[in-house]
A and B are shown apart, each in its own frame.
Chain A
Amino acid sequence: MAAPKRVERPLSPFMIGPYYRPQMTSISSILTRITGNALVVGVLLAVWWLLAAATSEEYFAVADAVATSWFGDLVFTLSLWAVWYHYLAGLRHLYFDAGKGLDVPTAEKLGWACIIGSVVLTVLTILLVQ
């Protein structure tokens, strides 16, 4: 038997662009992964801020200055959108797991629902907690 020939094939996430046309289904799936993993940044800032509040007046002044600066606002606003996107995409995943919504028109509509819904929920949350 001939030795198996190793073929360098492009791997899944690097197919989009050069080989596959970007589509709502693939992009909304990738965004789920990116938002979920990126949320660790916002969590780190929030936990540091909470630790500082628990520690001392001076430490809280430092952490609170960072958390409420333009940088903190940027991290928390992006995290808020990320958590709402991941939230809706997660619900969509549970719906898919139940064997529903898997036809292309429905799946594409659900993708738009995640994107538009996440922006709407982000704005509503900011208005609610202000």
Chain B
Amino acid sequence: MRYLTARKRAEFRGSAHHGTEHHWSMMVSAVGLALLVPVWLYIFGAALGGTREEVLATFARPFPAIVTGLLLVVGMRHFAMGATTMIEDYTRGTMRKMLIIGVIALSWAVAATGLFALVRIAL
């Protein structure tokens, strides 16, 4: 006989075994991106097509550099988690594990590359 109450057993679980943490993270990053994306689209759109000096001048300024840095980290986390959901829907077993690991690694690599470029330009 179990002395756990029904509520105790349900807490922090669900089919994912970690409750709604994934969904909540996606909501938080979605709100962050809702603020970042329009600003960044303007920064990037205005910089694209310029000379190298103009591009370096843009991303050396604090505001464009900070927005781009935030977008890289928040955006690539949001991508990794969203892509994970897609992979979980369509694949199983070892293929699923390899694709999820691959997409998380790719996301960090893209974020790190972008941050490295920013540091070189802005600092």
Contacts and interface: CB of A to CB of B under 8 A. Distances in A.
Interface in A33-76: 33, 36-37, 39-40, 43-44, 46-47, 49-51, 53-55, 57, 60, 64, 67-68, 76
A57 B56 CA distance: 11
A128 interface: yes
B14 to A, nearest CB: 16
Give chain B's interface secondary structure class.
Answer: helix
Question: Interface extent on B, as a size class?
Answer: 35 or more
Interface of B: 27, 30-31, 33-34, 37, 41-42, 44-46, 48-49, 52, 55-56, 59, 68, 72, 75-76, 79, 82-83, 86, 89-90, 106, 110, 113-114, 116-118, 120-121
Interface of A: 12-13, 33, 36-37, 39-40, 43-44, 46-47, 49-51, 53-55, 57, 60, 64, 67-68, 76, 80, 83, 87, 90-91, 93-94, 97, 125-126, 128-129
